[in-house]
Amino acid sequence: MRALSATTVLGEPIDRVDGPLKVTGAAAYPSDIAYRDLVHAVLVQSTIGAGTITAIHAEAAEAASGVLAVITYQNAPALAPAPMTGLGPSLPLPFRDNRVFHHGQHLAVVVANTHELAVAAARLVEIEYEEMTPVVGLDNPRAEALHNPWQADMRRGDPAAALASAEVIVDETYTIAAETNNPLGLFATVASWEGDRLTVHDSTQWTVMERQTLATVFDIPESGVRVLSPYLGGGFGAGLRVYPHVILTALAARVVGRPVKLVLTRPQMFTSVGHRPETQQRMKLGALQDGTLVAIDHGCTSALGIEGTNFGRVTVVTPPSYACPNVATHDHQVRLNIPNPGYMRGPGKTEGNFALESALDELSYKLRIDPIELRLRNFADVHPQSGLPWSSNALQECYRVGAERFGWSKRSPEIGSMREGHWLVGYGMAGVTFEVYQPSCEVRVSIHRDGSAYVRSAATDIGTGTYTIAAQLAAELLGLEVGQVNVEIGDSDLPTAPQSGGSGLATSLGGAIVDAAGNLLRAFLKTVADDDRSPLQGMSAEDVAVTNGRMAAIEDSSVGETYFDILERHKLDELSAGGEYNPSAGAPGIAGPAAFAARFAEVHIDPELGLVRIARFVTVVDGGRILNAKTARSQIIGATVMGIGMTLLEETVIDSATGRIANATFGDYLIPVNADVPVLDVVFVGKPDELSPVGSKGLGEIGLVGVSAAIANAVYHATGRRIRSLPITIDKLL
């Protein structure tokens, strides 16, 4: 087999193989699915933030034209509790009782022959409440506090003693407003029952987990559930849980005995599919005058729904980032009457990095040490927690290359000393250490007599390029053209795959493809092992190379034959082989894997108006082997734009009196537009990671981490105003 160290297709910036289907409208998203007898569901949501339902008047809705059912807690069939998943407990079940925990909670679902009739009927449902004052805000004294949930606190050394003896201390609080994922595609679910078999088309990033959850909730075997999500209009973590509206769609389909489609509205996206929770962090750094870190104490309090179970550790980013002997982290949560938070790109680590890298910048100014130099003096040569060597680490190269491309040497260290016309100019940077997640994965690969190959797995492509890199990798390993490889994913009936989340799918799916391709080549060689007509008789996989659909001896390329020759002679339509990737064993004596990055921002600020403009942004990433240069760069660019939104614009505003989200539309919730985004420079450095069969380390989230700190640090350099609360809005600069 060809070694991946000498690839011909892998890594090339080829166009997305699914691109033509998407631009021609042939790619079927969940909202595009239709059945002959399809009916439509619309949600009725709570108009209070807390309390209980005292009466539901659904008679008018039930009598409306075309209405098939109005389902509430009063008449809904019983459901079984949802199971644990790899991301923690599932969400509370809908329609359990009359309690209301947040504004926008689903209280009824109306099913009608058309969407328009369902919308009209939903307006006829009247609900009476006994209203309570909602508990909103991290500092609310009525909020239930959860200390160290899941026993996640960490400690090494004696941080308290080290802080007490430190020569210089930074002790500051950093806050980040709640954000909502807001993928462009509205989340949609289509559910259909055939007897006790359930088929669901859904906006999910994890078909296998959803199958498990639905099977448990409806008390049917997992083999009786099929979840399909071949295309997703964006997710950013919102599709990593089975939300109540998904269960309600399947429930409605069972009640009315027909396929049901439910499409969330944009305001419902704000209340139904999670969000990045509001956080408040206290960061304490202790250092010597030469910049050596002696102690870090990082604490965070984040918001959680009244019955929520989501726990994203914010402080997890700190222990591996720098060579500091004394480190403590503490994560806390408070329960509030808010929609349940969920996962949003880089959950926890994005927020934690903002506090850590902002505090380091503050320390650099106290010590009058260049921000890059301060980070280099505290570079972790080995993993700080385990003491083991990194599997690969090009963070220092990220700093060097980034500084050169950005022109960091032109930075004047004095606050407010750089100008362009009347604009104040600021330079800021941040470092990123991002430990990645690599779960198990299975895949099946086959080659057909017509020369085509198929890669099949339950994995999903959420717009990141999974179809393309899977095709490239299979083509590389099997000696085929990329156009000969068909990738079928997004179907829970296919070999088990993990979620598209946590920056781990490319490595996991890639590892499984490597294993399957090797097994498939061995299957071909086994087929001709006793075939005296084959020039490959008696050879092993180590003896052959593959190219142009042909297996040939490494020692003499003239000795070989094509896949077609073997299949034709043995009257086989195809040969298939399974493969798996299971990283649980790891590599003894090696830490990791982790991706690394350096972010550099230039901001221009109008001192009279408080306007902030991002003039330039440079990102240098060590993501291991880059599997497709074009889609990888696109990942970083898209994530950086998200980071600009998080830093300067995005805030999910919850009214403290009612618990209502006050800006749940794109007219009120601000996101970056073209004018907010400069040309984004992206560079990749480093080498293939030895812990990954394909050398990759994950890029889905690291492109977002560090953006906020780099921009905030640049704002300080320009103005002398240290903004520790995101988003950085005009009022904070005036």
Which one-letter amino acid corresponds to residue 236? F
The residues near 77 (Cβ < 8 Å, ≥ 6 apart) are 251, 254, 255
Answer yes or no: are the C-beta atoms of 73 and 96 closer than 8 Å: yes
Q: Where are the alpha helices (DSSP H) in 156-241?
A: 159-165, 207-217
With 0-12 / 13-18 / 19 or more C-beta atoms within 10 angstroms meaning exposed / middle / buried, residue 696 is: buried
Strand-pair category, 51-57 with 126-131: antiparallel
Q: What does the alpha-carbon distance between residue 686 and residue 393 come to, in Å, rounded to a whole number? A: 7
Q: What does the alpha-carbon distance between residue 669 and residue 646 come to, in Å, rounded to a whole number? A: 11
Answer yes or no: are the C-beta atoms of 634 and 465 closer than 8 Å: yes
With 0-12 / 13-18 / 19 or more C-beta atoms within 10 angstroms meaning exposed / middle / buried, residue 327 is: buried
What number of other Cβ atoms are within 10 A of residue 300's Cβ?
26
**3-state SS, residue 401:** helix
Q: Where are the alpha helices (DSSP H) in 598-648?
A: 629-648
**3-state SS, residue 162:** helix
> Rounded to 5 degrees, what are φ and ψ at 526?
-65, -35
Answer yes or no: are the C-beta atoms of 237 and 274 closer than 8 Å: yes
Residues in a beta bridge with 295: 286
Q: Where are the alpha helices (DSSP H) in 40-134?
A: 59-63, 115-122
Nearest Cα to Cα of residue 711 among 445, 482, 427: 427
Give the dihedral sign, CA 568/569/572/578.
negative
Adjacency order of strands within the sheet including 419-420: 419-420, 423-435, 594-605, 612-622, 680-685
Give the dihedral sign, CA 84/85/88/94.
negative
Answer yes or no: are the C-beta atoms of 445 and 454 closer than 8 Å: yes
Nearest Cα to Cα of residue 171 among 439, 17, 366: 366
Q: What does the alpha-carbon distance between residue 525 and residue 117 come to, in Å, rounded to a whole number? A: 61
**3-state SS, residue 671:** coil
Q: How far from chain centre, in Å, is Cα 300? A: 21
Token pair, residue 601, equals: 């921002």
Residues in the chain: 734
Annotation says 126 is catalytic: no
Q: How many CA atoms lie within 13 A of 566 on its CB side?
A: 29
Catalytic residues: 701
